[in-house]
Amino acid sequence: MHKDDARITEALGPTSVPLALRRVLGLVVSGQATNRAEIARRSGLARSTVGQQVDHLVGTGILEEVESRRSVRGRPPRVLTISPQAGTVVVADVDSAESQVAIADLTRRVIAQETVAVRIGAGPRAVLDAVTERLQELLEKHGRDPGRVRQVVVGLPGPVDFEQGCAVQPTGMPGWDGYSVAAHLRERLRAPVVVDNDVNLMALGEAVQARMDTPLLCIRIGSGIGAGLITTGGDVYRGADGAAGDIGHIRAVGGGNVLCACGNVGCVGALASHRAVLRGLGIPESTDDDPLHGARELARRIADSEPTALHAVRQAATEIGEVVAMLVHMFNPRTVVLAGPLSELRDDLVSAVRAAVYQRALPLATRKLTITATQLKRSSGLHGGIALATQDVFSPAGIARLLADEGPTEE
């Protein structure tokens, strides 16, 4: 539970949200029940109790009851859904060259998404102010009340202290270490803020939006290499201090004395990241006119089957595959998803990683394993952020906050 949630729960009291109301809302949110009769049957609550709680949730604008579009004889049945006007969640996926931002309603429907072209090296204030400004413009443009923003989620490309809402000793992010991203955005957007590692959000997006089997391990190969793990229960595994998944600093088999930005030598991120591949091919990562120049140029060379580019990608994939094989033994995932610019270059990366994993890992760990490229590509982090936001909104503390915003709760 976040500190904000704890304060809200304490202020409202432990009995401020009746268990019956939480059950009713939970069944509708999960899709397990879509009408009053189904809710009564699945919850075991009396129909009168269900009716009272449904009426309250409809009256506060959290739920809406509409006629079903199914073709039936007689009067169409009425179904319960989350109201599109119940609130908005906003998400920012910050990356080294640019950030992706999106707004969505509480049904996880994306209302709008855009790109903010501010490099992470500009520092946290410049990046977050640009992100905030664009989000506020999207809210206004699409008629979403800024006072009904229920949750803000931000993904950062480095280790994150989830409780404090800040990056912790990130490489390649000058000025971000310890900077309170959560406090900065909470002040400007007037809503609860969650800050997480970008690959955690990507992994959650692939599990929830792309419906991939869990446990799920997402590997992002970008300026560095990171991993996100979703458990069988659908939870993000973050570790004790937010450092879980920072696999780019594992020593590579062929690492040698290659210097990494962390100060060590031989890290797999220094040898096999997208940035490392570009450097080895002599391709500038960005230009003044195009922050994504490197990605575009490498994609062109791969499409043209240039031998040196193909060799560089396959060699990087082999090094990454060695690390993935170790992680497969450690976590025994059902799905491994490869994301980032290299994963979008034909099938060379996925094929080479798959070959390395099946060569190194034992059959017990790989007999039901799927290794694939991202299904959501660059929007996976946004979808993961939206999923995390709505999970928080409909948590016990989130429901208490939601009802407090809408008025007193009926007992």
Q: Each residue of 356-384: pLDDT tens digit? A: 999 999 999 999 999 999 999 889 999 99
Return the ∠ at Cα 83 (arms to 78 and 86), rounded to 5°.
Answer: 155
* Residue 71 confidence (pLDDT): 54
* Residue 75 confidence (pLDDT): 60
Pairing of strands 370-373, 335-339: parallel
Burial 255-280 (b: 16+ CB within 10 A, else e): beebebbbeeebbbbbbbbbbbbbeb
Alpha-carbon gap, residue 157 to 274, rounded angstroms: 14
Alpha-carbon gap, residue 335 to 212, rounded angstroms: 7
- Check: CB of residue 388 under 8 Å from CB of residue 155: no
Identify the three-state secondary structure at position 109: coil
Element containing residue 310 per DSSP (H, E): helix 307-331
Of 203, 216, 187, 201, nearest to 99 by C-alpha is 201
Of 306, 121, 332, 345, nearest to 221 by C-alpha is 345
- Domain ranges across the chain: 3-85+394-406, 88-202+381-392, 213-374
DSSP codes, 159-203: -EETTTTEE-S-TT-TT-BT-BHHHHHHHHH-S-EEEEEHHHHHH
Amino acid at site 122? A
- Check: CB of residue 170 under 8 Å from CB of residue 129: no
Low-confidence ranges of the chain (pLDDT < 50): 1-15, 409-411
* Residue 76 confidence (pLDDT): 64
Tokens 């201090």 locate to 241
| Omega of the bond leading into 215 within 30 degrees of 0 (cis) | yes
CATH code, residues 3-85+394-406 = 1.10.10.10
Of 376, 381, 379, 392, nearest to 106 by C-alpha is 392
Q: For the whole model, what pTM was predicted?
A: 0.89
pLDDT in tens, 145-171: 999 999 999 999 999 999 999 999 898
* Residue 12 confidence (pLDDT): 39
Residue 201's region, left for phi above 0, alpha for psi from -120 to 50, else beta, is alpha
Amino acid at site 406? E
Are 3-85+394-406 and 213-374 the same fold in CATH? no
- Check: CB of residue 252 under 8 Å from CB of residue 226: no
Domain 88-202+381-392 has CATH 3.40.640.10: no
* Residue 388 confidence (pLDDT): 97
The pairs formed by 138-147 with CB atoms below 8 angstroms and a separation of 24 or more are: 138/90, 138/101, 138/103, 138/111, 138/112, 138/114, 139/88, 139/90, 139/103, 141/112, 142/103, 142/111, 142/112, 144/88, 144/103, 144/111, 145/88, 146/189, 146/190, 147/190
The contacts of residue 16 (CB under 8 Å, 6+ apart) are 400, 403, 404, 409
* Residue 122 confidence (pLDDT): 94
Q: What kind of fold does domain 213-374 have according to CATH?
A: Nucleotidyltransferase; domain 5 (3.30.420)
R_g (Cα) of the chain, nearest Å: 23
The contacts of residue 187 (CB under 8 Å, 6+ apart) are none
* Residue 230 confidence (pLDDT): 97
Q: Is the dihedral of CA 96, 102, 107, 108 positive or negative?
A: negative
Residue 31's region, left for phi above 0, alpha for psi from -120 to 50, else beta, is left
Alpha-carbon gap, residue 223 to 221, rounded angstroms: 7
Identify the three-state secondary structure at position 389: helix
Strand partners, 336: 217, 371
DSSP codes, 366-383: HTT-EEEE-SSGGGHHHH
